[in-house]
Amino acid sequence: MRLRTLSFAGYRSFAARSPAAPERPLQRLQLAPLTILLGKNNSGKSTVARLLHHVLLALGHDGKDPFPMDRDGHKYGGSFRDVQHGGAFFNPVDLEVELSAEDGAETTLATQLIQVSDIADDRPPLVQKCIFRGKAFAAEETPLRGLLPDVPEANSWREGARRLLKASCHIGPVRDSVQESYEVVRNKTEQRLPNSRDAIAQMLLTDVELRAAVGDWMAKHLEGWRVDVRQSLDTFKLMARRAGRESNLADAGQGIQQVLPVAVLCCWRSLGRSDASFLDIMEQPELHLHDAAHAPIGDLLLSAVADTRGNLVVETHSESLVLRVRRRIAEGRLSPDHVAMIYVEDTAEGSQLRPIPLEPNGEVEWWPEGVFSEAFVEVKAIRRAQRARGGA
């Protein structure tokens, strides 16, 4: 299954269709194989990225709560009130999704979630509206399981959402540091995902081709350093090696440690280790890295979705990463349809999504004022200061 578009209102920093603005337009996110979220701090980029998996969780849920807040210990909020815009019980959350299945079938769901009163903030929300495949379902007449009605035609979509979420990874803005050592896990029962520190270590131990791919990328773009493994019976260590030098990766700089999950996931995807559709989320893949490594990360991200089998949504502050993606389009190596670039803007009415269309020559139809212009502003200020002091 694929999630094609998500339209929403009333979720966290995004304004709601409140009683005062019942016709407020929904914010619409149309996913491409690579979707890049741009914006200033606290504009709502992470909110958008995390909402995608939250919606999949709700679509695949089998219980009575239409919008669960917890997934295997990952919390989207303490209660529904935490995700309502402004924390106000009278602000509904509106969601509309367009889905497609492996066989080409498509479906839609439009729903509105409400909290009935200020004193019910610790209870699950109620479904005020549920329109599935163009047909309205009343909650008092047709029970719901998660966001979907409990009807036979919804079962395959519910299961598809569960499979899609299970096959997807979320790399947050702060990754766990590498451990000094790991125990070898021999009782592998199902295919691992590179979605945790321990899983990544075990995959680098057992998958020689993956380890080589990650090591080659690191050696090329991180001053010759590559990741390797040193095993001793039932324990092993991840090592950083370069030209006869080696050290425990746990003692390496944060740049190498923080980019490791990004490199492993992208190489794992590009090697085709899973044939399932996926919707991966990455927040700040460039974290702690020198700017020289940011552009190569752009290529790394593109490699993960080269076969368009899945979607990768990336939240970034890196100009070099964005420019590398635009360069690949300008070179004709990438279709502009392969990339969606979204500017998340913090306005007086809440966060808003503003698509930035890309041209076949890599140019953009418009660009948000002040974004990635900081260096130019500082250079102009230096020149003004030099002139004021009698310089050249």
| 163 and 207 part of one domain | no
| 27 and 156 part of one domain | yes
Q: What is the CATH number of the domain that holds 14?
A: 3.40.50.300
Quick count: other Cβ atoms within 10 Å of Cβ 29? 23
Where is 131: in which H helix or E strand? strand 126-132
| 294 and 252 part of one domain | no
| 383 and 245 part of one domain | no
| 75 and 159 part of one domain | yes
| 331 and 266 part of one domain | no
| 327 and 293 part of one domain | yes
Q: Which residue has the tokens 């909290």?
A: 115
Q: Which residue has the tokens 């001793």?
A: 232
| 183 and 142 part of one domain | no
Report whether 249 contacts 261 (CB < 8 A).
no
Report whether 272 contacts 304 (CB < 8 A).
no
Report which of 101, 103, 213, 121 is spatially closest to residue 161, judged by C-alpha positions: 101
Q: What angle do CA 107, 108, 112 make, to 5 degrees?
A: 155
pTM: 0.94
Sequence-distant (6+) residues with CB within 8 A of 207 are: 273
User: Tens digit of pLDDT per residue, the chain (392 long)?
Assistant: 999 999 999 999 999 999 899 999 999 999 999 999 999 999 999 999 999 999 999 999 999 999 999 998 889 999 999 999 999 999 999 999 999 999 999 999 999 999 988 776 678 999 999 999 999 998 788 999 999 999 999 999 999 999 999 999 999 998 999 999 999 998 776 678 999 999 999 999 999 999 999 999 999 999 999 999 999 999 999 999 998 899 999 999 999 999 999 999 999 999 999 999 999 999 999 999 999 999 999 999 999 999 999 999 999 999 999 999 999 999 999 999 999 999 999 999 999 999 999 999 999 999 998 888 877 677 778 788 878 887 55
The strand pairing partners of 344, in sequence order, are 353
| 200 and 343 part of one domain | no
| 260 and 333 part of one domain | no
Percent helix / strand / coil, the chain, rounded to 5: 35, 25, 40
pLDDT score at 120: 64
Pairing of strands 311-315, 279-283: parallel
Quick count: other Cβ atoms within 10 Å of Cβ 110? 16
The residue range of the domain holding 304 is 1-167+276-392
Q: How many domains, in total, are found in the chain?
A: 2
pLDDT score at 192: 84
Task: Give the relative orientation of helices 294-304 and 208-221 as an angle to the nearest 10 degrees.
Answer: 150
